[in-house]
Structure 1
């Protein structure tokens, strides 16, 4: 009887194991659970991608022109499965490009597996299969058509395509990936700002603007154009005074110093102004990253006018203003503003609101300082607000996890000794001890 019960228990246990395996297989075929234990979940969809998907409030159709032979279709479907889980109304379909080569030529399909994304009669093409490229394409779908950003050139301004330390090439190249197109604007070659321009950037001119350039900028403002003006410390050039007057802004004749805040972050130059707190504004709402501004010109409101002026960059109370090139500070104490947003009802019948940003520093977006803290993220917010893309302002900032391991020569020697000698010797000792124990037994 006991033998029968023992056998029955064994068969029952085997049956329960089989039923458990079948149940697990059934559940996993219909429900998936993915856990990412990597640092900062780098193997999962980034918060930025999830935020972009949340902005797409309608279905997205993705058509892949991939050859059915091989594993390319399976690779594309597996890659997009994460997106489909996050946004179920993403629809993926495949087209065999070999069935109609003439149609493929008309569509401009040149890469096997090329994707075309459709959303609200907008279209984006993608020939690289990675999260960054796909997220940029989705962000361009949210934004709509490419935005034309004209950078004033010809008077020593920071170059939008430059690689010098003071230029803006790195930042602008990243903007262009998300649906902005940078073009030069030289007033020696044109008398007006082109009508299709969405934003004009005046980035720290080193020479006086011509009277024609000043008039063109004032006419552009008068017609409802949006402007980003980056200025630097020093006496304001007389050619720019009409622009400041039109914006009801004063550029104070000095620069900010903040020894206490700079020292707290280990900065030796008191002209480096770090910010971690920001006045409430449309640009800085929810923004908590630390930014760094070298050599800042303080700004002030000249008078009350038709512009709605809001400060969004402000120094600490410990900051003071000193004359450029002088070591003595003036009586003007902090907190001092050095960044303003300006808005008013647009004179243009095609826009409801005109927007301007004036900042007393042009270096924070330069190639040298772009990587400091949240400088790039703040710059993206500024451009999104100026271009009217308010729904993109609160997207999480793009950030790559630190994949670089810095090892000194002594640490490298220690690691080499450990892996080449110490660990193999330890394994030999353990093996010898186990062999000795077995022989004794």
Structure 2
């Protein structure tokens, strides 16, 4: 078939129009890609898409969430962590992640008590949670707790010369109170002589080294609080129970006479033998992540009598070279069994629980 000049011109014109339209479409797609983003997950079960639960939790977040991921630079864990964070940020860009090399940042590792490569700290509105593994399930659960923390109340007993939860002296507990507040635990004080009772909203009652004696009426209230399931943090500064002997009988322990001395401290260059050294800790939640040695000056030892309804697990235990010294601490001291001294290891503290029909009593 012979193509006329007119037909040939029309074909060339059509080709030119097609090329022009193609170039316009390509440019338009390129421009749209800079203005809008779209992400499609074609994997089976949409493995790279945030779950409905995670999206609902993320909708409640106000402000930024900061994540410190402790991962070595050569570790392949960094990519999956970035992938998890990206899922959240595609839905709502509120996540900020910082990778920290634990080898070059030992101070931060000690400060945050990081134990293994891959641990992460999630921070939100002044509160924080530590995760041993960062995946969507763990991260969403942490965000849920940080966004709406369970309200807990810790109340310090006052009126007997106890250590202050607001004081900033070395013997006070202001720093402790500030730390637990990051976990959503609020603090207060109660003077039973003035208030007449332990506040109803009290979850944990703290008895922090009273210098004066607890009165019988106050003791009855403390015992009733414990019997009803209240938690107690009892801190002794000496062997004098300050009127709380009945409470120690309830828990099934007593205080050994004397001051603990520890010959192991000489290795550390400490001339004072009244520093009790603890280097190992049981797998308890309260000591989880604790790796540093701790020292307790002029401490007294506890003895489990094996009585009562409370199960006792030692939290702090001294070394073998310690003992309870009954004589004056001067010149050279040595263990004297015939005088009634007790050789180490010695218990300095217990975690006590008692099963109930509901939750364990602590």
| TM-score clears 0.5 | yes
For 1:58 and 1:287, locate their aligned partners in 2 and report how far apart those are by CA, in whole Å.
31
Match of 1:270 in 2: 273
CA contact (8 A) 1:64 1:92 kept: no
Q: Say how many residue pairs are matched.
A: 251
2:261 to 249, 257, 261: 257
| Pairwise CA distance, 1:339 | 1.1
- Note the aligned Cα RMSD (angstroms): 3.4
Q: Could you list the per-position Cα deviations for residues 109-128 of structure 1 after superposition, in whole angstroms to 9, with x for gaps in the alignment?
A: xxxxxxxxxxxxxxxxxxxx
Match of 2:58 in 1: 61
5+ residue gaps, structure 2, are: 1-52, 70-80, 95-120, 130-141
Change (3 A) 1:304 1:61: same
Match of 1:304 in 2: 307
Moved over 3 A (4+): 57-60, 62-66, 79-91, 130-135, 137-141, 279-287, 324-330
For 1:305 and 1:65, locate their aligned partners in 2 and report how far apart those are by CA, in whole Å.
49
| Pairwise CA distance, 1:164 | 1.7
Match of 2:92 in 1: 92
2:322 to 319, 323, 326: 319
Determine if the alignment matches structure 1 residue 186 to structure 2 residue 191: yes
SS in 2 for 1:232: coil
CA contact (8 A) 1:148 1:196 kept: yes
Match of 1:222 in 2: 227
2:161 to 151, 156, 164: 156
Higher relative CO (Cα under 8 Å, sequence separation at least 6) belongs to 1
CA contact (8 A) 1:321 1:333 kept: yes
Match of 2:127 in 1: 136
Change (3 A) 1:64 1:211: closer
Match of 1:241 in 2: 245
Q: Which structure dedicates a bigger proportion of its chain to helix?
A: 1
Normalised TM-score (structure 1): 0.50
Match of 2:359 in 1: 352
Q: How does 1:386-401 map to 2 (within 5 A)?
A: none
| Pairwise CA distance, 1:213 | 1.3
Normalised TM-score (structure 2): 0.60
SS in 2 for 1:208: coil
Q: Could you list the per-position Cα deviations for residues 356-405 of structure 1 after superposition, in whole angstroms to 9, with x for gaps in the alignment?
A: xxxxxxxxxxxxxxxxxxxxxxxxxxxxxxxxxxxxxxxxxxxxxxxxxx
Q: How does 1:34-183 map to 2 (within 5 A)?
A: 58-59=54-55, 60-61=57-58, 85-87=83-85, 88-89=87-88, 91-92=91-92, 133-134=124-125, 136=127, 141-142=144-145, 144-183=149-188
| Pairwise CA distance, 1:282 | 4.5
Determine if the alignment matches structure 1 residue 196 to structure 2 residue 187: no
For 2:220 and 2:151, locate their aligned partners in 1 and report how far apart those are by CA, in whole Å.
27
Q: Could you list the per-position Cα deviations for residues 279-337 of structure 1 after superposition, in whole angstroms to 9, with x for gaps in the alignment?
A: 45444456432222222110011233211111121110000111375555552111111
Change (3 A) 1:270 1:192: same
SS in 2 for 1:268: coil
Kindly name which structure, 1 or 2, has the bigger radius of gyration based on alpha carbons: 2
Change (3 A) 1:213 1:80: closer
Change (3 A) 1:219 1:145: same
Change (3 A) 1:65 1:314: closer
SS in 2 for 1:354: coil
